[in-house]
Chains A and B, each alone.
Chain A
Amino acid sequence: MEMPWWLRSNGGLAGVVVLIGAVCLVGAVASDRFLSINNFLNVFEQTTDLALVSIGQTLTILSGGIDLSVGSLISLASCLTSGLINNNPDRVIPVVIAVLAIGILVGFVNAGLIVALRVHPLIVTLGTGAMLQGATLLYALGPVGRVPRGFNFLAYGRVYGLPLGATIAVLLCLLIAFALRYLPLGRQIYALGDDANSARLVGLRRTRILMLVYGASGFFCAATGLYLAARFGVGQPYTGVNYTLASITPVVLGGTLLSGGKGGVVGTLFGAFLIALLNNLLNFMDVSKHYQLVAQAVIIIAAVSIYVERRRTA
């Protein structure tokens, strides 16, 4: 049977679905409340932030790079959101637009530096990330400003019973999946990630592709920052710090090759859901938040090593 294209483009999708099934199985044993519609909607809601940031990360990894400035950019975005809005409902719309624009701009700067300095994205984004964290701390040393009451609808609101933020993340994911499949520039992201030298020789415009990719990553970080400000009611300068590593895990789990050129955002979405589900399960089992961080780290190393093993024997 021919698979639909959005599944076909994700070789690793089967794996992540199996893992989701396995977690559900363990969850069903651990607690009778785990396998309920309500809990699933909760988990879906809790997927939002990770889904947003890792959709952007998928793009940079597909192009053969990586964005390690995501954590700091998320912190900055969340602080700017609550700090600039400062409980004034009139400012919500202009600030949201401004924050998203700043995110895109930071991405453009990342791409520009990668191209102009010919430095690996790893180093460039690690550097800009440190700068962004510094800028965030210059702006606010602790929780800053406040968002108006209604703003938390983004984090806690339900539309037709579905959590709003998570639904937006899913829609954005499908939009990106479509773009990757049907825009010429989308196809060229895969080509660039597959073989950068070939891409140069056939005359692909690397700068343009990287601008798109890192700009999108910046946009998704800004969106994550907005979401976190809405969820906590206030921006915090270290709120994004764990997302740098965390954003890579769903990408790898979803079947995107860390070396680029193969994969897709739909797999990433499932990967993010798997992580949220796992954290939820660990909550049910009364495992501390700190262990959840350890669990995530173990998962990413394991997932990458499984991939490497396959490459070696293939």
Chain B
Amino acid sequence: MLTLAGISKNFPGVRALSSVNLEVRPGEVHGLLGENGAGKSTLIKIIAGAYVSDEGEMSFAGAPAKWPSPREAKRHGIHVVYQEFALFPQLSVAENIFVGHERRNRFGLVDHARTRREARELLQKLGVALDVNASVSSLSVADQQMVEIARAMVHNVKLLVLDEPTAVIAGREVALLFDLLRRLRESGVSVLFISHRLDEVFAICDRVTVLKDGRLVGTHDIADVTRERLISMMVGRDLGDLFPARPVAIPIGKPVLHTEAVSVGDRVRDISIELRRGEIVALAGMVGAGRSELALGLFGAVPLRSGAIHLAGRRFTSMSPARAIQLGMGLVPEDRKSHGLAMQLDIAANISGPALSEVALHGLVDRRLEAGIATREIERYRIACRGPATKVVTMSGGNQQKVIVARWARICQSVLILDEPTRGIDVGAKVEIYRIMRELAASGVAILMISSELTEVIGMADRIIVMREGRVTGELAGGEATEESIMRLVTSERAA
């Protein structure tokens, strides 16, 4: 159905893909595995016509294919459901399904009744019950995904590409999705299924291809590989080496921060949690469970609706980032590019950012002092760069993340919140970040780590707090948690 041969793609400073081969057969579910940053997203964007490859050949349904635009790929029967979706939040379900292919009456005008009717039929065929008049922004993420898939069905889809479809849904919703994929497979549709959850890969895929650091590691029939084999293919080393062990000698100290029925935004409700000195607490849950909102609330970046934060012996019913920093808090946000770093500035300026008074002795920034601090941090965290004057925008994701972690690690004395600290960075940088977290905790800082990677949660956390739909649904001790016990709380489903 789809054949890629020797596909390469370069971005400024990065070789994202390096002569990758991939073959998807008609009517198979083909798994595409790899760590974050392995090149999966780049590869599917090339398949979808959103990027053009620098080298290599692609053919689809027996003909050479070089899509100049997503429109062209779609016309040939390739439909991609991106992780972040390509939906229109303010338009209705029916309009979203048929956008660009509006149902018309015989005068060529949009036929709204027909649009709604056909949308209803389509969703029925997929086995989902949705109000076709509802605006997409009002739907759950799982339902939004169904709208995306329904949209694929409009155009005689031959290859359906799903980018981490299960990152945002759970339990029953996953089962529904898999049922649907099996039915599609029977009708001859090929599915390219991107994931890093091995259970799901074994449950649904016929064959798997593993990418690592932009290169092809291999393609196998699912029957021929074991879980362990796939992990070592993906990671390139055993999981045990990934997480630095917790130093036993360091005891967990007194509570440094606790919250009293904190509500943030319109989702996060009545959160009462406690963070102790020297402790790494993981905040687990689905995307959209309200974990990031809670983090922003604690840091004062989003106002608290009610409740209070106890920190440094005081009770705060409102918080601001300036005050949080003063009290020794730090936040490494989920989206480092738009919320964390000043991309066009150099490393030195990014590190001294929240502590400018320290380098501005007489009201003016002392660039030499700033550079000196940066040089020390660069050595300490092994940040790969040409020096403190390197512009952040030219660096790799992993090194960017180290810069922002270094910034906070230096000045943070009470609580450091890290929101998905290892998303989209390579394994080497991951290990570094884990090491920094351990060091900080050992120095007495309380660490709150938001993470959707269960291996990371289990590998790093002393304690795991699970959130679902804006509330805390449970707490587990780090030592006794398993992927299954966390997922049960994440999805709040009873054990079978």
Contact = CB atoms under 8 A, between A and B. Distances in A.
Contact of B88 (A181, A186, A195): A195
Contacts of A205: 71
Pick the 5 closest A-B CB pairs, nearest first. Answer: A203-B71, A201-B86, A184-B102, A198-B86, A182-B109
B110 A182 contact: yes
Contacts of A200: 50, 70
B87 interface: yes
A195 B85 CA distance: 11
A183 interface: yes
Given A183-B110, A202-B151, A262 B102 contact: no
Of the listed residues A5, A188, A194, A204, the one surrounded by the most CB atoms of chain B closer than 10 A to its CB is: A194
B90 to A, nearest CB: 5
Nearest to B303: A312
Interface in A35-78: none
Interface of A: 5, 181-184, 186-188, 190-191, 194-195, 197-205, 261-262, 314
A307 to B, nearest CB: 14
A12 B170 CA distance: 37
B74 A194 contact: no
Given A184-B110, A187-B95, A203 B88 contact: no
19 contacts: A183-B109, A188-B99, A190-B91, A191-B88, A191-B95, A194-B91, A195-B88, A195-B89, A198-B86, A200-B50, A201-B82, A202-B86, A202-B99, A203-B69, A203-B71, A203-B75, A203-B100, A261-B88, A261-B91
B88 A194 contact: yes
Contacts of A204: 99-100
A190 B102 contact: no
Contact of A194 (B69, B71, B89): B89
B254 interface: no
Contacts of A190: 88, 90-91
A296 to B, nearest CB: 28
Nearest to B84: A197
Contact of B99 (A183, A187, A197): A187
Interface string B101-113: 0101000011010
B224 interface: no
B96 to A, nearest CB: 8
B266 interface: yes
Contacts of B99: 187-188, 191, 202, 204
B118 to A, nearest CB: 15
B301 to A, nearest CB: 13
Contacts of B91: 190-191, 194, 261
B86 A197 contact: yes
Interface residues of B, number: 26
A194 B110 CA distance: 19
Contacts of B90: 190, 194, 261-262
A202 B100 contact: yes
Given A187-B95, A200-B70, A201-B50, A181 B87 contact: no
A177 to B, nearest CB: 13
B86 A314 contact: no
Contacts of A201: 48, 50, 70, 80, 82, 86
**B interface SS class:** loop
Contact of A314 (B69, B89, B266): B266
Contacts of B88: 190-191, 194-195, 198-199, 261
B161 to A, nearest CB: 12
A198 B85 contact: yes
A187 B102 CA distance: 8
Contacts of B80: 201
Nearest to B82: A201
A195 B87 contact: yes
A205 B109 CA distance: 18
A198 B151 CA distance: 13
Contact of B100 (A5, A183, A188): A188
Nearest to A184: B102
Contact of A202 (B70, B89, B109, B110): B70
Contacts of B89: 194-195
A178 to B, nearest CB: 9
A143 B445 CA distance: 74
Contacts of B100: 188, 191, 202-204
Contact of A203 (B70, B85, B104, B109): B70
Interface string B46-60: 001010000000000
Contacts of B85: 198
A97 B70 CA distance: 39
A182 B115 CA distance: 12
Contacts of A191: 88, 91, 95, 99-100
B104 A184 contact: yes
A205 B74 CA distance: 13
B87 A198 contact: yes
Contacts of B82: 201
A261 B48 CA distance: 25
A195 B87 CA distance: 8
Contacts of A195: 86-89
B470 to A, nearest CB: 16
A212 B112 CA distance: 22
Contacts of B70: 200-203
Of the listed residues B91, B95, B266, the one surrounded by the most CB atoms of chain A closer than 10 A to its CB is: B91
B76 to A, nearest CB: 12
B115 to A, nearest CB: 9
B273 to A, nearest CB: 25
Nearest to B137: A194
B391 to A, nearest CB: 22
A287 to B, nearest CB: 38
Nearest to B151: A202
A286 to B, nearest CB: 44
A181 B151 CA distance: 21
Interface in B252-281: 266
A190 B100 CA distance: 11
Contacts of A182: 109-110
Given A203-B74, A203-B75, 4 more contacts: A188-B100, A201-B80, A202-B74, A203-B70
Of the listed residues B87, B90, B266, the one surrounded by the most CB atoms of chain A closer than 10 A to its CB is: B90
Contacts of A184: 102, 104, 110
A259 to B, nearest CB: 10
A202 B147 CA distance: 13
A204 B266 CA distance: 33
A183 to B, nearest CB: 7
A181 B110 contact: yes
A197 B91 CA distance: 15
A190 B110 CA distance: 14
Nearest to B80: A201
Contacts of B112: 5
